Amino acid sequence: MDAGSPRTDLCDLSTTGVSAVFDSVTGGYVFSTDDPDEIPSGIYTFVITASAGGGSVSADSTFSLHLKDPCDDATKVTLVTQAQTSG
């Protein structure tokens, strides 16, 4: 998680009303919450880093997830797409 996100620990989080797990083998990520006090609305920026050759080559990819207050906006979630570069 990017340091500018409302929380920086969403990759492995388990508290009452919140579940978030990142599987580093499959790359899967599952997140759910019904507790706006634990997970405040805001834009969460995920930074994914892949490496090869024992870490001699790496590349970052980012995406932003905008969690909205359901009392303010019925759409609740917006996935913000960003252009990615290779290399």
Number of alpha helices (DSSP H) and beta strands (DSSP E) in the chain: 0, 6
pTM score, whole prediction: 0.59
**What residue segments make up the domains of the chain, in order of their start?**
12-80
Along the 87 residues of the chain, how does pLDDT read in single tens digits?
Answer: 666 777 766 666 666 677 777 787 887 878 777 777 777 888 888 888 888 888 788 888 888 888 877 777 766 666 666 666 665
Please give the backbone phi and psi of residue 60, each rounded to the nearest 5 degrees, phi first: -105, 145
Backbone φ/ψ region at 78: left (φ over 0), alpha (ψ -120 to 50), beta:
beta
- For residue 71, what are the CA distances in angstroms to 8, 9, 33, 44? 24, 24, 15, 19
- Paired with 12 in beta bridges are 21
First to last CA, the chain: 21
